[in-house]
Structure 1
């Protein structure tokens, strides 16, 4: 029998390794930025075209490479950081696996230009699909420039799995944020399709957060500091009132390396217990410094997951540090049994004797006497007034005030029948039916646990999920308004100004036209804020910020996928935000109206996200339950 096991060719092995290291353009950005940091650069520039599908270029002013190093950097398992296995547990650098450049070169066109400070000229290497096309001498500034073009050009299947440019760009910006937040002592710049998106100068950690997420972020941050033998914690957490429905602004850094840890995230959530609204998540930007020997960062190809020797201790320290900061800055409620400072005696009156005020009353005073004698004994005295007295003035001819009232009152009693008096009551909504008898005839609904609406049909019973049903109704209404561009808008008495990050403002600019077709009116769009003067009729002013945040999140995560239109995505997102929630009580006429509107929809059976809105149960099925 012939041998069937054989060694893979190098270019195939590189492409398989690329599948682990390079999932999307953002993976290339991460590897190249980390290499630039390890090269000792002080400024790093990232240039993107077509969300990285056409070009990803990273330029740094680091120490550069020699001719030999430049050539060896594209070989598999070539690294400058590891000499033996023990070095894996003493890592203080970023890229160490020795597979990144080799994997990238296997699936793209790569051009490397590098020069060391002491050299007169640099080196230029062009590689296409693991094959070195050229290696020449070139004039280039000190540092390294790596250009990655036409990603996945030789693996069309992998390229087809990439999302739209908006989604891929969001992943790139996320990686850029992670690296920039971990190294606030370096300058970073990001250029997308020729325009500058971020320009981050060298700054402290708080300024770097503000430069990335907007100036409004500064007032949301609460500092966290803790230094122990096991763990050193520094950074910031967001105030509970600014918690978001998404997990976008949650960053853990261990030894200046971004990580994901559901276990440590639970520690933060536990510290915020009782302070956050249901369904919201706190923001945090925390740096953890631990001994490199106590962690293993080589368990995942992207190095975003880490194993800790003693996770329970880290959990307890992190939770207590965050709770301490929230209490120290009066964010969390605390039990204080001491006297309230506002109730203390003023400084000027401390040690002085205070006499109680006395009140004297003339019990013989009668206002209905013809002549009223001056009051001598009635006085209101206080320690400060020295007992100054008040005298009642005579009220002559006071009877004239009541002249004619008797006749008027008699007339009023004869003309008024109090059995017909109508009392003012709360305003009631107009009935959608013609008369009350119609309501009694049609009213066959019942609300179950403030979640489901039960209604009778000829064959049995109908059970409707009120939240999902309302989603379908609102979705078709919004989609119709966007399509015919005739939405009704209600003007706000005072303009509403909402603050967003630079990236979120760019998304709102793209959606501005469609939002205006639904009824929003934007008076001004600034770099970090939008001013709204009108909202759709069905949208309360307090819900506007929640709707826009949810919409931005849906667009960033592309819910649904790229083959849907922006109008469809907008209608879905707004319907999800504005639909009546589970637990909301509905009146009988509101239940009836919801049922009628649902079955007037084109597709009443499912929500915009294809979840069923109602179920039916026939009489036969009910009869079987009693057998």
Structure 2
């Protein structure tokens, strides 16, 4: 039998290695930015075109490379970071395996310009598909400029798997933010298609976080710091009331390297226990400095997953430090079990003289007359207005609660202002009732229906929103005082993709630039107080959905808004609202399923009920 095992050519081996290292343009951005940091740069500029598909260029003012180093840097396993196996357990740099540049050059066209401080001229190197096309002297500044053009030009199948420009751009912003947050002492800039998205001067950690996440982030941050024998923890957490439903502001850095750790994330979430809304995720920017010998970072090609020598101790320290910070800055409520709040005296009352209580007796009171003839409003007010000066003064400094209204008034106001349905579409008189403030029970075509009111309204709104996006724009209710909202660059990028669709469903914007939005109009039946949570949920849904085209993008938008705008379980509906909801449901194209394919109702035929009674 002849020999069948053979060595792969270098260009094939490099392409295989590139499959692990270079997954998308964001992978190229990560590797090049980290190389610039390792080169000792104080200013790093990132230039991107077409979400990295046409160009990814990183320019730094670091040490630069000699002519020989520039050539060797693109060979496999060529690195200046380690010299022996022992160095793998004492790493202080980002890249160290010498695979990144070789992998990038295998699947793209690369142009390098580099120069050391002592050299008179620099070196220009051109590589295509691992093949060196030219290497010539050139005039350039100290440092290195690497331009990666036409990514995956020689592997069309891999290029076809790339997502839309908006999605790839989102991944690039994520990688840029991680490197920029890890190194606030280095200046960074980011330009995409000739538009400057970030200009971050060298500064401190807090200012870097604010520069990336927005100016209003500063008031949300609570500092965290803990020093022990084997770990130094510092950074910031966001106050519980600013927790979001998205996973966009959770950052762990170990020795200035971004990592992902569900174990440490659980420690942070445990520290916030009891302080967060349901399904909310706390924001944090935490920096851990540990001995490099106690961690192993060489367990994943992207080096975002690491192993700690003593994970349990780090978990306990992290949880304890965050709890301490929440208490130190009075974020958590103070508990005093020995104090009775009933004996608290208002600041405005503690110096006032004490007046003796008086007792008034109505000698003409007749209980039999009150049962048969109720008092008028005027009589009631007259009888209760006597001698009230003594007790009314106790509440002089207390503002009335909006919820402390008369029950009848609340009922009328609820019907007038919060009626989500109109009586115009009632086409059939139904007999129905509400069960547990969640289900509607009615008869339909000789069957008994039990309808989930939230799911039913979600289906109705979904079809209305899709009609507004594709056919007729929905009306907008104008706000007397426009809402000013600020987003992180990543979140603003997501909302910018669906801005036109948001306008069609009823949103109005006075301003939309520089990560800020001024909302002047909102869809009908939406409360102004719900807008922030609604947009946060929309961002989360868009991140999870990753739409491939405009239809999928609109579909995700309509599903997210419909789910948030729909009436919730626990909402009491009057008879008119119940009937109108049922009628609108059965005018939908698909009344049996929600947009996410859940059952809206179950039905019982007469025979089913009779069999149950046997």
Once the two structures are TM-superposed, the CA of residue 620 in structure 1 deviates from its matched residue by 6.8
CA contact (8 A) 1:252 1:285 kept: yes
Rounded to whole Å, the distance in 2 between the matches of 1:297 and 1:258 is 11
TM-score, length of structure 1 as denominator length: 0.82
Once the two structures are TM-superposed, the CA of residue 338 in structure 1 deviates from its matched residue by 7.8
CA contact (8 A) 1:445 1:592 kept: no
Rounded to whole Å, the distance in 2 between the matches of 1:502 and 1:288 is 25
Matches within 5 A, 1:371-450: 426-427=411-412, 428=415, 442-444=430-432, 447=435, 450=437
CA contact (8 A) 1:488 1:519 kept: yes
Residue range with higher mean Cα deviation, 124-133 or 192-201: 124-133
Once the two structures are TM-superposed, the CA of residue 528 in structure 1 deviates from its matched residue by 4.1
CA RMSD of aligned residues (A): 3.4
- 2:258 alignment partner in structure 1: 258
For the residue of structure 1 that corresponds to 2:263, the secondary structure is helix
- 1:490 alignment partner in structure 2: 477
Count residues in correspondence: 561
- 2:334 alignment partner in structure 1: 334
Once the two structures are TM-superposed, the CA of residue 335 in structure 1 deviates from its matched residue by 2.0
Once the two structures are TM-superposed, the CA of residue 579 in structure 1 deviates from its matched residue by 2.1
Q: Which runs of 5+ in 2 are unaligned?
A: 359-371, 379-407
- 2:365 alignment partner in structure 1: none
CA contact (8 A) 1:259 1:306 kept: yes
- 2:486 alignment partner in structure 1: 499
- Is residue 206 of structure 2 the alignment partner of residue 219 of structure 1? no
Q: 2:582 aligns with which of 595, 607, 612?
A: 595
Q: Deviations over 1:407-442 (max 9, x none)?
A: xxxxxxxxxx979999976425699789x9x86xx2
Residue range with higher mean Cα deviation, 529-538 or 17-26: 529-538
Change in 2 beyond 3 A, CA 1:357/1:165: closer
- 1:398 alignment partner in structure 2: none
- 1:95 alignment partner in structure 2: 95
Rounded to whole Å, the distance in 1 between the matches of 2:52 and 2:276 is 37
- 1:530 alignment partner in structure 2: 517
Rounded to whole Å, the distance in 2 between the matches of 1:358 and 1:144 is 83
Rounded to whole Å, the distance in 1 between the matches of 2:143 and 2:299 is 31
For the residue of structure 2 that corresponds to 1:564, the secondary structure is helix
- 2:276 alignment partner in structure 1: 276
Change in 2 beyond 3 A, CA 1:71/1:465: farther
Change in 2 beyond 3 A, CA 1:120/1:542: same
Once the two structures are TM-superposed, the CA of residue 550 in structure 1 deviates from its matched residue by 2.6
Q: Deviations over 1:17-76 (max 9, x none)?
A: 111111111111000000000011110000000000000000001101111111111111
- Is residue 61 of structure 2 the alignment partner of residue 61 of structure 1? yes
For the residue of structure 2 that corresponds to 1:604, the secondary structure is coil
CA contact (8 A) 1:485 1:518 kept: no
- 1:146 alignment partner in structure 2: 146
CA contact (8 A) 1:49 1:193 kept: yes
Rounded to whole Å, the distance in 2 between the matches of 1:344 and 1:286 is 42
Q: Deviations over 1:334-381 (max 9, x none)?
A: 2246879997999xx9xxxx99879899xxxxxxxxxxxxxxxxxxxx
TM-score, length of structure 2 as denominator length: 0.83
Matches within 5 A, 1:239-388: 239-336=239-336
Change in 2 beyond 3 A, CA 1:100/1:222: same
Q: Deviations over 1:122-152 (max 9, x none)?
A: 1111111111111111111111111111111
- 2:383 alignment partner in structure 1: none
Q: Deviations over 1:73-106 (max 9, x none)?
A: 1111111111121111100100011111111111
Rounded to whole Å, the distance in 2 between the matches of 1:339 and 1:22 is 62
- 1:124 alignment partner in structure 2: 124
Rounded to whole Å, the distance in 2 between the matches of 1:467 and 1:7 is 62
CA contact (8 A) 1:479 1:567 kept: yes
- 2:361 alignment partner in structure 1: none
For the residue of structure 1 that corresponds to 2:285, the secondary structure is strand
Q: 2:454 aligns with which of 467, 475, 483?
A: 467
Rounded to whole Å, the distance in 1 between the matches of 2:469 and 2:39 is 52
For the residue of structure 1 that corresponds to 2:212, the secondary structure is helix
